Structure 1
Amino acid sequence: MNSNFLSKIGLSNFDIGYLFLILFIVAIVLLVLLIVALVQIHSFKNKYQKFMQGKNASSLEKDIMSLYEDNVFIKSSMEKNKKDIEELFTKHQTAFQKLGLVKYDAFKEMGGKLSFTLALLDENNNGFLMNSVHSSDGCYSYTKRVKNGDSEIALSNEEKVAIERAMKGTASNPDAE
């Protein structure tokens, strides 16, 4: 079967059966693509309806604006918290953090370990010693400044132990001494 159209475009020897076969294959491919597209559209439509459930465009816009405002608030709160933490850290460095306590008998005739030495130090081992000496006449207390774990004034053995315990972080168990 010869076609005038095919002979005009230079395909007079082309069998028309091949043309129908090619068109049939293209139609099948297009039908498959159409089915895939319809399935994707249906899936997207279900997701969209689930997302928009009970909402319209204006209420969705309000939700998005609310989330944006919450995000801005959280960021500003986070910055404030960061500054507060830095300030607390700076203050914490100079706060007394380490404690050393030594209970002892200042005089042989006095028992019960009523005298004590207390060392309070900060992060840099600066602070003070408080020594309380209990005698039969009364109780006498005095302090010594501690800088970098040492004092400019001579230290007793109990004071040295109290500073050592404070620097090690082993305050002591007064009942165990």
Structure 2
Amino acid sequence: MEYILKNIGNFQIYIMAVLFVLIIILFIIVAVLTKALNKVENKYRRLMRGVDNKNLEQLIIGYLDNIDEAKQETDFMKEKFEKLSQKYNTCVQKISIIRYRAFEDVGSDLSFSVAILDGNNSGVIITGIYGRSESTTYAKPIDKGMSRYELSNEENQVLQECINKKIDK
């Protein structure tokens, strides 16, 4: 035992130097760990800001419920949009009119043809023929851009103008 104590006494300076170096290394490790812990604590505080004493699980469940509710509303709105889109196709979307002189002995362009079509190019052509002694108005149905009745040149012209009109969808 005396031998061990004598050897420790001889190497006491070296042992102290090694212990001093170890203490400095440990202080550096503690400083680095403290800095890392502060970063984690700051992130935790930012995460928990505005929680009002709720735990994180309740907060996340609340947000997931809000997401589910928003998804249901979005699906409902998509369904409504599809129905409106289908109805929109059947609404009057294109109108074209042409005025012309039906008879040479009538002085002005008092006759007319009006094409009124939906998104499927279905609708009606209304024609008014003005003459000196009488005036006649009639309608011809249009189905997908075609009429089962014979169309005059003016009616064909107004129909083509109406079909070629651009519509915004």
TM-score (norm 2): 0.71
Q: CA deviation at 1:80?
A: 1.6
Q: Which amino acid aligns with 2:126?
A: M
2:64 pairs with 1:57: no
In the alignment, structure 1 segments of 5+ residues that lack a partner are: 171-177
Q: Which amino acid aligns with 1:102?
A: I
Q: Which amino acid aligns with 1:165?
A: E
Report the number of matched residues.
158
Aligned to 2:46: 47
2:103 pairs with 1:107: yes
In the alignment, structure 2 segments of 5+ residues that lack a partner are: none
* % identical aligned pairs: 24
Distance 1:88 1:3 in 2: 101
Structure 1 residues 79 and 50 mapped into 2: Cα distance closer, same or farther (>3 Å)?
A: closer
Distance 2:3 2:25 in 1: 22
Q: 1 or 2 for the larger relative contact order (CA 8 Å, sep ≥6)? A: 1
Structure 1 residues 134 and 3 mapped into 2: Cα distance closer, same or farther (>3 Å)?
A: farther
SS in structure 2 at match of 1:57: coil
RMSD: 3.5
2:28 pairs with 1:32: no
Q: Which residue of 140, 153, 158 corresponds with 1:157?
A: 153
- Range with greater deviation from structure 2 (82-91 or 70-79): 70-79
Q: CA deviation at 1:89?
A: 1.4
SS in structure 2 at match of 1:133: strand
TM-score (norm 1): 0.68
Deviation by residue 1:109-149 (Cα, 9 ceiling, x = unmatched): 33332211011222232222111112233431111222332
Aligned to 1:173: none
